Amino acid sequence: MAKDHLTVWTNCLEVIKDNVSLQSFKTWFEPIKPIKLKNNILTIQVPSQFFYEWLEEHYIGLLKKIVKKELGTEGRLEYSIVMENNQSNAKPYTVKVPTSNRQSVKNDPITMPLDINKDKGIRNPFIIPGLKKVNVESQLNPNYSFANFIEGDCNRLARSAGFAVANNPGGTAFNPLFIYGGVGLGKTHLAHAIGIETKDKHPEKTVLYVPSEKFTQQFIDAVRNNEHNDFIHFYQMIDVLIIDDVHFFAGKEKTQDVFFHIFNHLHQNGKQLILTSDKAPVELQGMEQRLLSRFKWGLSADLQSPDLETRIAILEKKMYAEGIDLPKDVIEYLAYSITTNVRELEGALISLIAQSSLNKKAITIELAKQMIDKFVKNTAREVSIDYIQKVVCDYFDLPIDMLKSKTRKREVVQARQIAMFFAKQMTKSSLANIGMHCGGKDHATVLHACKTVNNLMDTDKRFRGYIDDLKKKISIQ
């Protein structure tokens, strides 16, 4: 009797269960769906490119053995990967994985997606004769969409402006749209999102995303090959030009000069420019004044460090996209511990999953603390005031809003004083900053709180127990 894809995959799962931890099984194998079995090729669907890469990196040996056992020496495995761009034309793409015997798994071409990046490279912009706009690849990453960009107070202006530009490119006052902010805050993501939305709303428009280093290298090649004019003509035909990390133009006079002429032509013809930078135009060094003045023509919108709610939302969105689930207290701990950088936040989440999978440990708050200690030891080792307040409020079963309120209820005042005490001990924040986080108190109130807590620790054994318990819960050492 011929086997069907459901039976084969069910048999595979039975073997996998005996070879991986329960947490790893739930995270990496339960979300997989068997799609079909044809010519000894089992096709399974996974929820993302990240998911596929993780399986390939950590479980390919196990998968190959199981498939070979179920389907014989000719058995093969294919992945159907669901693109996460939320667009109507999004379709799964397939990656074929050979399962024949090889001496080393590393020699197998198992992590080479078939043709999905075949035409992703920027088409040669110097062969201009007969070039039509439809031939220009946008270079946009479909995963960086507005749907995947979490909105918060930290980025609302830039996101709203980007959405307005995408709806009416070249027709708003936001031209150029200059997006700036520190590393890992979402500049590149937002730039791609604007491009994707523009193409969706205006399919007739030619959209092009180019990192500044790529632009510079193309220009150098054009000069070397005596194709300077072709280079300029190519860029002047773009309807929506997105230049990422424009601050890398600093000190490159000839690159700035050619970009100045391209900028002028596009702007004068009602084309849209979107620029990203790590600094505001007024803070950029090594840039020509005539170029800086044009950067200021439209809207400069900054991306700030995400607040707590936004950080939690980012982690939850990432978990949903990758098909994983983590305890709420672990998510909150990550969000409280990494406060400045979205990229680091997402990296911490992936590292935590890796730690759990590789060491076959359940993901707990203790594991999260160990991982965070290593992950941020060179950047932000200290615990945050927000996290201290959360732990104290959880311990005494109080809402955080009450701790920050003006109430003088005894139990609230005591919890507030304890939070101030630990904030002074465990952070580098000033007394004024600690007081501000605790309902707008002044530095004298914080000093008084610390003195009160120290006195109670010396005279009240039960209170001392509270402090010892809380210190263990808060500490990331």
Indicate the pLDDT class of residue 95, thresholds 50, 70 and 90.
Answer: low
pLDDT in tens, 424-450: 888 777 788 888 888 888 888 888 899
Which has more confidence, 45 or 378? 45
pLDDT in tens, 20-53: 878 778 878 888 999 888 888 888 888 777 677 7
Mean pLDDT of the chain, nearest integer: 77
pLDDT in tens, 107-132: 332 232 323 233 333 444 434 444 44
d(CA 60, CA 79): 12
Question: Which of 54-58, 342-346, 463-467 is the least confident region?
Answer: 342-346
pLDDT value at 102 more than 60: no
Question: How much is the pLDDT for 295?
Answer: 84
pLDDT in tens, 379-395: 444 567 887 888 888 88
d(CA 322, CA 311): 17
Residue 376: how many CA atoms within 13 Å on its side-chain side? 28
Closest of 464, 459, 434 to residue 449, by C-alpha = 434
Question: How much is the pLDDT for 373?
Answer: 63
pLDDT value at 469 more than 70: yes
pLDDT in tens, 282-301: 888 888 888 888 888 888 88
Question: How much is the pLDDT for 250?
Answer: 84
Question: How much is the pLDDT for 128?
Answer: 40
Indicate the pLDDT class of residue 230, thresholds 50, 70 and 90.
Answer: confident
Quote the DSSP letter at residue 297. S
Helix (H) or strand (E) holding 193: helix 187-201
Which has more confidence, 73 or 87? 73
CB 42 within 8 A of CB 9: yes
pLDDT in tens, 354-367: 766 666 666 777 77
Closest of 157, 202, 196 to residue 302, by C-alpha = 157
Instruction: Report whether CATH 1.10.1750.10 matches the domain 385-474.
Output: yes
Vertex 110, ends 90 and 108: CA angle to 5°?
A: 165
Alpha helices in 381-477 (DSSP H): 385-396, 400-403, 410-426, 431-437, 443-459, 461-474
d(CA 444, CA 461): 26
220-224, 356-360, 461-465: range with highest mean pLDDT: 461-465
Vertex 65, ends 59 and 69: CA angle to 5°?
A: 145
- Tell me whether residue 231 is exposed, middle or buried, using C-beta atoms within 10 angstroms of its C-beta: 0 to 12, 13 to 18, 19 or more: buried
CB 246 within 8 A of CB 277: yes
pLDDT value at 328 more than 80: no
d(CA 110, CA 100): 11
Which has more confidence, 273 or 349? 273
Question: How much is the pLDDT for 241?
Answer: 93
Which has more confidence, 270 or 356? 270
**Domain residue extents for the chain:** 5-107, 139-303, 308-375, 385-474
CATH topology of domain 5-107: GMP Synthetase; Chain A, domain 3 (3.30.300)
pLDDT value at 99 more than 80: no
pLDDT value at 87 more than 60: no
CA torsion through residues 343, 344, 349, 352, sign: positive
Q: Do strands 240-244 and 272-277 pair parallel, antiparallel, or not at all (unpaired)? A: parallel
pLDDT value at 303 more than 60: yes
Please give the order of strands across the beta sheet that includes 272-277.
Answer: 207-211, 240-244, 272-277, 177-181, 299-303
Instruction: Report whether CATH 3.40.50.300 matches the domain 139-303.
Output: yes
CATH class of 308-375: mainly alpha
Question: How much is the pLDDT for 338?
Answer: 72
Indicate the pLDDT class of residue 163, thresholds 50, 70 and 90.
Answer: confident
Which has more confidence, 184 or 141? 141
d(CA 274, CA 244): 8
Helix (H) or strand (E) holding 295: helix 289-295
Which has more confidence, 268 or 49? 268
Question: How much is the pLDDT for 205?
Answer: 85
Question: How much is the pLDDT for 84?
Answer: 43
Helix (H) or strand (E) holding 250: none
